[in-house]
Structure 1
Amino acid sequence: MKNYSRVFKGTAFTSKSPTEIHILKDYLFCIDDIGMIVKVIAPAEQEYNAILKTYENKVQTLKEGQYFLPGFVDLHVHAPQWAQSGTALDIPLYDWLNRYTFPLESRFSDLDFAEKVYREVVSTLLANGTTTALYFATVHKEASLLLARFCAEKGQRGLVGKIVMDNPDQTSEIYRDADTQTALKDTEDFIIAVNELAKTTKQGVYPVVTPRFIPSCTDEALKGLGELAAKYDTYVQSHCSESDWEHGYVKDRFQKNDAFALHDFGLLREKSVMAHCNFLHDDDADLFVKTGTAVCHCPISNAYFANSVIPIAHLHSKGVEIGLGSDISGGFSPSIYDNARQAVISSRMLEDGVNTSLPAKERGVPNSRITINEAFYFATASGGESLSLPIGRLAENFAWDVQIIDTTVATAKLPIFEEDLQDIFQKIMYLVRPENIIEVWVQGEKVHSRY
């Protein structure tokens, strides 16, 4: 018998496929000292009782009404924007950025202010079940490093990008990089510093090359960032074909869509995640598949700023990797549960249509809807695949990143009355609130507890 650091016992839900949930009733999950799932054992297996007996002092057993879910992967968070969540979501994107967002982000030159916001956003996401987050920071190198350090300190798997914004034609003088060379040097310094921090961080922190989006960057900066991504084999993140305005701006500037422009600069690669992508054409999607680039679907934010509903089912059918993102604060909620719910709602609206002046058969886009099972897959297993990391599944050789859900919490009790486990899973996905998330573990370490 192998030597396990901890053993967990309980019923778990994890993705079997994009459309199927694997229900593991009363299973054992055996974890090693680096926080990986070494063994998953069903009650009928011969060693089940032997392990319970051998590790009786190291077994954590769930109570009635409690369940394991994989930790969520949030592929698009603007960490500084936590300070403006819930503000000005009724104005156009261009105005929202210039009147609210950029002035706020310019304040992160103040490290005391950055510390307050960044500590809180990491803790808030953990409390909402997000164990891995892909963060945009700001143009400020030191504040961006502070965010990476807080992820390391609080135990969240953080992928952090120092934003680059050097284009004076599209960025305010109050908030942009001093010049292109400074932007590139600060990015390289940031990559080196985060890679050094990662050496002492169990769950992993990662630097991310982050052109905010094409409008905010000069050609020289985009080229230099692509070269840095290749030199250090880093992750890359940006916004891509998000709205009518951004999509149109890039076409006017380069006479091609976002995807091909980004690719020309070396910014579409196996470790690339592009947020939104509502206006991707089929040839753009094919390029994403060819390069291994993932799409981050931000359904709440899209409802406010994207001018469309992304055909997520179609993109997935073409083989594009899909994950979910909260897009704080274009999305008001830090909860991936809320975004999974909205992903289902938006897909159904796209399929059925919204313009009642049209006949029902002409109103929507056929075969656009997704199920809650698929939304859960995007939030977990597919999010892990998008980052090429062994996360998002409760299976052997994956990290022990879990949420423990208690459906019996007095202030947030779920209406469960003798349903089967498949129905209980759906109720969890649609009804869970932060009060129900009683523990969160990342890489075998407890990082959040309500008790």
Structure 2
Amino acid sequence: MYNYSLIFQGTAFTSKSAKEINIVKDHLFCVDDSGMIANVVSPEDPRYRSILQEYEDKSNFYRLKEGQYLFPGFVDLHIHAPQWAQAGTALDLPLNDWLHTYTFPLEAKFEETSFAKKVYEDLVHTLLKNGTTTGLYFATVHREASYLLAKICAEKGQRGLVGKVVADDPEQNPDYYRDPDATTALEETEQFIVDVKELAKTTKQGVYPVVTPRFIPSCTDEALKGLGKLAAKYDTHIQSHCSESDWEHGFVKERFHKTDTAALNDFGLLQDKSVMAHSVFLEDNDVELFAETGTAIGHCPLSNAYFANAVMPLRHFHSRGVDIGLGTDISAGATPSLYDNAKQAIVSSRMLEDGVDNSKSPEVRGVDDSRITIKEAFYFATAGGGKSLSLPIGLLEKGYAWDVQIIDTKAKGNSLPIFDEKEDLDDVFQKIMYLVKPENIKEVWVQGEKVVGD
């Protein structure tokens, strides 16, 4: 007799390494009561037949249909939740103009929790429909609305890591949208941490408070120092922006006479549960510091194309031991889909390797050994994101959470071009990564609970 909560029979794709996928054909995935994968059983395993005999007629047994496959749930490492309300607008503006003309006025409206509820419920639902089972969120400076986002993640079944944003510097933030002072910002952050940790006690898939200085230009030294102490006191995740653009990178160097990586580290904000968005302009010493402290990068290739002024050398940073995952960066990235960002990560890496200035000869036009493959992009969207958060997610292996997308390649409205029933599964994987739309994501499960699907 076995004691499993769920049994799935089907073919899955999961990362074997950063550059390889593991095609797990016709296996049984056995999930325990806590939503963790207790066993993955191959057809050659003697237990396979006995598990099938015990479970295949029960309601907790799921056999995938022809043309359906299991994918790990995606891990989105950078989401500005309030900005969902402005997605797809004003992307032609410089970053600082975009923030002050559109973004700060919008985020100020989240003091009204009824407005926040409407936006956040739609965002979490949309991300789940796009296969994102874990989201790392910036909320706003408002503690009540930030807690509401964590509560919505808990209720809708998404694993949410949520930060109440801190932005207290009166010289860099508008009077209508900032923390009144560092003391208030730290008090509100601490209360937020305590409240979310209490919420987490009744949330199966987990919700997590995240210490969140918006970025160094938004914060006073007092606030940054205090946030580092709070993160250590409560052992929380940390997130911010780092070396996002020429402007930010230069601003911090002028203020501290060091890079923002070094400054963040001095404030106690770099550690193995830290994720820094963008990080496009890291210098050699910065890369070493990221690797030494275990700090990860939330790579946002689409938004970088609009606001970063350069392409992040993804392969180079990863080869030097830096953990990296993907982020949508809603709304500077105008799509809620990590499928779209995985494809853009490949495009950006190829443009970096080949170069873009055709007035230069090919041998000096680009940066050698920069391109990544679709299998690497898949890794960064799944296992890389889980590793970046120091959580057992992103892989379909024993000991990992049952966070999955059930992909239907024959979905009505977007049937993928697979005409040979014996088509090589490696090719099927590539078609899924390049061509899937929400219509193909038949079901989404988080921590063993179905959150999307009939």
| TM-score, shorter chain, exceeding 0.5 | yes
What is the 5 A alignment of 1:339-418?
339-418=341-420
Which residue identity is paired with 2:3?
Answer: N
Q: Secondary structure at the match of 2:413?
A: helix
Cα distance in 1, alignment partners of residues 332 and 381 from structure 2: 18
- Confirm or deny that 1:13 pairs with 2:13: yes
**What residue is the counterpart of 1:101 in the other structure?**
103
Matches of 1:201 and 1:304, distance apart in 2:
36
Equivalent-residue separation in structure 2 for 1:424 and 1:408 (angstroms): 12
Unaligned ranges ≥5, structure 2 = none
| In structure 2, C-alpha distance between the alignment counterparts of 1:307 and 1:100, rounded to whole Å | 20
Structure-to-structure mapping, 1:132-211, within 5 angstroms: 132-211=134-213
Question: Secondary structure at the residue paired with 1:203?
Answer: coil
- TM-aligned CA deviation for residue 47 of structure 1: 1.0
Question: In the alignment, what sits opposite 1:44?
Answer: 44
Identify the residue that residue 451 of structure 2 maps to in structure 1: 447
Asked if 1:420 corresponds to 2:424, the answer is yes
Alignment of 1:267-282 (within 5 A): 267-282=269-284
**What displacement does 1:417 show?**
2.3
**2: distance between equivalents of 1:2 and 1:397?**
17
Name the amino acid aligned to 2:113. L
* Cα deviation digits, residues 200-228 of structure 1 (max 9, x gap): 00000000000000000000000000000
SS of residue matched to 2:176: coil
Secondary structure of residue in 1 paired with 2:7: strand
Match of 1:431 in 2: 435
Q: Is the 8 A contact 2:166 2:212 kept in 1?
A: yes
Whole-angstrom distance in 1 between the partners of 2:166 and 2:188:
9
1:343-375, CA deviations, whole angstroms, 9 ceiling, x for partnerless residues? 000000000000000001110000000001001
- Residue aligned with 2:127, SS: helix
Q: Per-residue deviation at 1:410?
A: 2.1
Aligned-partner Cα distance in 2 for 1:30–1:305: 44
Q: Which residue in the other structure is 1:229 paired with?
A: 231
Pairing of 1:243-262 with structure 2 (within 5 A):
243-262=245-264
- Measured in 1, the distance between the counterparts of 2:352 and 2:230 equals 39
The DSSP-based 3-state class of the residue aligned with 1:86 is coil
Match of 1:61 in 2: 63
RMSD: 0.6
> Distance in 2 between the 1:337 and 1:391 partners?
18
What residue is the counterpart of 1:30 in the other structure? Answer: 30
Give the residue type in structure 2 aligned to 1:276.
H
Partner of 1:299: 301
Task: Tell whether 2:7 aligns with 1:3.
Answer: no
Given that 2:313 and 2:349 are in contact with CA atoms closer than 8 Å, whether structure 1 keeps it comes out as: yes
Is the partner of 2:39 in helix, strand or coil? Answer: strand
Partner of 2:292: helix, strand, or coil? helix
SS, match of residue 30 in structure 2: strand
Equivalences for residues 214-225 of structure 1 within 5 A: 214-225=216-227
Q: What CA distance in whole angstroms lies between the structure 2 residues aligned with 1:410 and 1:34?
A: 34
Determine the C-alpha separation between the residues in 1 that align with 2:69 and 2:95. 39
Counterpart of 1:3 in 2: which secondary structure?
Answer: coil
Distance 1:47 1:235 in 2: 40
Partner of 1:114: 116
Residue identity opposite 2:433 in structure 1: M
Q: For the Cα contact (< 8 Å) 2:412–2:439, is it kept in 1?
A: no
